[in-house]
A and B are shown apart, each in its own frame.
Chain A
Amino acid sequence: MHRTGELFGQYKTLEQQRETASLGMWIFLSTEVLFFGGLFMTYTLNRSTYPDVFSEASKTIRLSLGAINTVVLIASSLTMALSVWASQAGKKKLLPVFLIATLILGCVFLGIKGVEYHDKYVEHHIPGWNFSFEPSSDVATNAHTQLFFSLYFGMTGLHALHMIVGAGLLIWLIKESLRGRFTPEYNTPVENIGLYWHFVDIVWIFLFPLLYLIDRH
């Protein structure tokens, strides 16, 4: 097994290794864009077909929680960017601090998401699980509202899954940074995981207005 920072066998220089890892992460992120893209497309089409129903349904998810989460995530991107800076500037003591801050903020986000999901559970807004949406008992409206919530859970769920993976990656980063493995010459994992984290943040920046801010004044 290679230790972090060593030159892997198929590369000729560390520079090549770094470039390769970076390109790899960018391409992976482009696949993620397409992956979420299909979901966003489905959402957009359904929203334009059932604008009123989506608007009504959207009002039942707590805007305050969504807004707090947005701030939390943006803050976590800030701490992540600071981690990358710290690794580039050789601040070996600060690096784990910023990484841990990012992890904590990520967990806060997931915790709040858990609260939201619990709310939905209590209100019977989870599709396929005793779903019922007052005030309308109209079959068609019920179906379209269920569509909104299916998309809500699908999109935020997929996003949360990516956050959990990100949290796992952060834990590994923290461990390695505590061992002092990252230097200005070698901080590729910090940079690339940072890229991933920023991407997950950007997905939320799109999710939030689409799901929470329909027709709000």
Chain B
Amino acid sequence: MVYITAICAFFAVAITAAIIYFFFKYRRKDPSDVGVPIHGDMRLETAWIAVPLLLAMTMFGWGAVVYVDYRRVPMDTLDIYVIGKQWMWKVQQPTGLREINELHVPAGRNVKLVLASEDVIHDFSVPAFRVKMDVVPGHYNTMWFRPTKVGRYHFFCQQYCGTNHALMGGWVTVMEPTEYAAWLSGSSDATANPVVAGEKLFVEKACTTCHLSDGSGRAPSLNGVYGGQVLLADGSKVTADDAYIRESILSPQAKIVAGYQPLMPSFQGQLTEEQIIDLTSYVKSLQSQPVPAKGAGIAPATGKK
């Protein structure tokens, strides 16, 4: 910021000064005066194309580095789900603890936010951390940051989303890691564990009919699937992350697992984003379950995570 500001300020001041200087120095003395006919100068033109171009490239480069780092989420993150809907934010901590318009995070750890929208496009923005990301209905966006200082910081909805867009904000509270752990576990039992809620849904929506855990069903067993590679019918492989699970639930025909028929119905319109997150949490919890020898759909080369 300082670098770009300095360069821009330099040029702004230089040009303004030149204009003001010329404006006064060359003011017309006699009403019939004309100026000196200078048509141009190739060297000057080249110079003031080349130099700004060079400077622009440095600005681009620096910004690009920062941005690429921002888009590349590190592996070792604390994952928190954030759902935006008109006009509030629902935050779900890893243990299932839910917050509304509040986000508690520990200092000194990489925090990843998985962003989902229930309706229109929103944007989760924390100016003090210099981070924000659009929250788009139809797919997940992720952002990450590493809080360093304990304190309370504003967050805002930063993409116009309707009537109460300006009221759709809250506070990020950064705590010492030990305090955060204490806060997390000391939560009231009014909040449901997402894994438990997800398991309930898994039964309610009859997923158990096909996704038998021993792999003998019409659909792959989900034991050990999360985080690993899945072999698809067309021979390609895909990582079973949050986005893959979500897509499999809403648009199951998009990617068919090798060796299985395209039988799964879509649950589009039947589940809220929160319920999808609960189901994902449940599937995540099956990582530690025994993987059946046949019928897991897991890509052979990499096996399970």
Are chains A and B touching directly in their complex (CB below 8 angstroms)? yes
Which residues in A have some Cβ–Cβ distance to B below 8 Å?
49, 52-53, 138-141, 143
Indicate if the CB atoms of A140 and B270 lie closer than 8 Å.
Answer: no
Q: How far is the CA of A140 from the CA of B267 in the complex (A)?
A: 8
Q: A139-B266, A140-B251 given; name 17 further pairs at CB < 8 Å.
A: A49-B254, A52-B253, A53-B253, A138-B265, A138-B266, A139-B267, A139-B268, A139-B269, A139-B270, A140-B250, A140-B252, A140-B253, A140-B266, A140-B268, A141-B253, A141-B266, A143-B268
- Chain A: minimal CB distance from B127 (Å): 34
Query: Which single residue of chain B is at the shortest CB-CB distance from A49?
Result: B254
Complex interface bits, B250-291 against A, C-beta within 8 A gives 1, otherwise 0: 111110000000000111111000000000000000000000
Chain B contacts with A in 235-256, Cβ cutoff 8 A: 250-254
Complex interface bits, B36-75 against A, C-beta within 8 A gives 1, otherwise 0: 0000000000000000000000000000000000000000
| Set of chain A residues within 8 Å of B267, measured between Cβ atoms | 139
| Set of chain B residues within 8 Å of A52, measured between Cβ atoms | 253
- Chain A: minimal CB distance from B36 (Å): 39
Which of the listed residues B253, B254, B267 has the most CB atoms from chain A within 10 Å of its own CB?
Answer: B253
Which 6 A-B residue pairs are closest in the complex by CB-CB distance?
A140-B266, A140-B268, A139-B268, A138-B266, A138-B265, A140-B251
| Set of chain A residues within 8 Å of B251, measured between Cβ atoms | 140
Q: How far is the CA of A53 from the CA of B268 in the complex (A)?
A: 16
| Set of chain B residues within 8 Å of A53, measured between Cβ atoms | 253
Q: How far is the CA of A138 from the CA of B250 in the complex (A)?
A: 10
Which of the listed residues A49, A138, A139, A140 has the most CB atoms from chain B within 10 Å of its own CB?
Answer: A140
- Chain A: minimal CB distance from B217 (Å): 19
| Set of chain A residues within 8 Å of B254, measured between Cβ atoms | 49
Could you pull out 19 A-B pairs where Cβ atoms are within 8 angstroms? Answer: A49-B254, A52-B253, A53-B253, A138-B265, A138-B266, A139-B266, A139-B267, A139-B268, A139-B269, A139-B270, A140-B250, A140-B251, A140-B252, A140-B253, A140-B266, A140-B268, A141-B253, A141-B266, A143-B268
- Chain B: minimal CB distance from A83 (Å): 50
Q: How far is the CA of A141 from the CA of B253 in the complex (A)?
A: 8
| Set of chain B residues within 8 Å of A139, measured between Cβ atoms | 266-270
Q: How far is the CA of A140 from the CA of B266 in the complex (A)?
A: 6
| Set of chain A residues within 8 Å of B265, measured between Cβ atoms | 138
| Set of chain A residues within 8 Å of B266, measured between Cβ atoms | 138-141
- Chain A: minimal CB distance from B233 (Å): 12
Q: How far is the CA of A141 from the CA of B250 in the complex (A)?
A: 10
Q: How far is the CA of A140 from the CA of B249 in the complex (A)?
A: 10
Complex interface bits, B119-142 against A, C-beta within 8 A gives 1, otherwise 0: 000000000000000000000000
Q: How far is the CA of A140 from the CA of B262 in the complex (A)?
A: 13
- Chain A: minimal CB distance from B178 (Å): 46
Q: How far is the CA of A52 from the CA of B252 in the complex (A)?
A: 12
- Chain A: minimal CB distance from B43 (Å): 39
- Chain B: minimal CB distance from A139 (Å): 5
Q: How far is the CA of A143 from the CA of B267 in the complex (A)?
A: 12
| Set of chain B residues within 8 Å of A138, measured between Cβ atoms | 265-266
| Set of chain B residues within 8 Å of A141, measured between Cβ atoms | 253, 266
Q: How far is the CA of A52 from the CA of B251 in the complex (A)?
A: 12
Q: How far is the CA of A123 from the CA of B167 in the complex (A)?
A: 47
Q: How far is the CA of A200 from the CA of B251 in the complex (A)?
A: 37
Q: How far is the CA of A143 from the CA of B254 in the complex (A)?
A: 14
Q: How far is the CA of A80 from the CA of B270 in the complex (A)?
A: 55
Chain B contacts with A in 205-258, Cβ cutoff 8 A: 250-254
| Set of chain A residues within 8 Å of B253, measured between Cβ atoms | 52-53, 140-141
| Set of chain A residues within 8 Å of B250, measured between Cβ atoms | 140
Complex interface bits, B19-36 against A, C-beta within 8 A gives 1, otherwise 0: 000000000000000000
Q: How far is the CA of A53 from the CA of B254 in the complex (A)?
A: 10
| Set of chain A residues within 8 Å of B270, measured between Cβ atoms | 139
- Chain B: minimal CB distance from A51 (Å): 10
Q: How far is the CA of A100 from the CA of B196 in the complex (A)?
A: 74
Query: Which single residue of chain B is at the shortest CB-CB distance from A139?
Result: B268
Q: How far is the CA of A143 from the CA of B252 in the complex (A)?
A: 13
Which of the listed residues A49, A53, A139, A143 has the most CB atoms from chain B within 10 Å of its own CB?
Answer: A139
| Set of chain B residues within 8 Å of A140, measured between Cβ atoms | 250-253, 266, 268
Q: How far is the CA of A119 from the CA of B252 in the complex (A)?
A: 30
Q: How far is the CA of A52 from the CA of B233 in the complex (A)?
A: 14
| Set of chain A residues within 8 Å of B269, measured between Cβ atoms | 139
| Set of chain B residues within 8 Å of A143, measured between Cβ atoms | 268
Q: How far is the CA of A1 from the CA of B11 in the complex (A)?
A: 57
Q: How far is the CA of A141 from the CA of B262 in the complex (A)?
A: 12
Query: Which single residue of chain B is at the shortest CB-CB distance from A53?
Result: B253
Q: How far is the CA of A140 from the CA of B250 in the complex (A)?
A: 7
- Chain A: minimal CB distance from B266 (Å): 3
| Set of chain B residues within 8 Å of A49, measured between Cβ atoms | 254
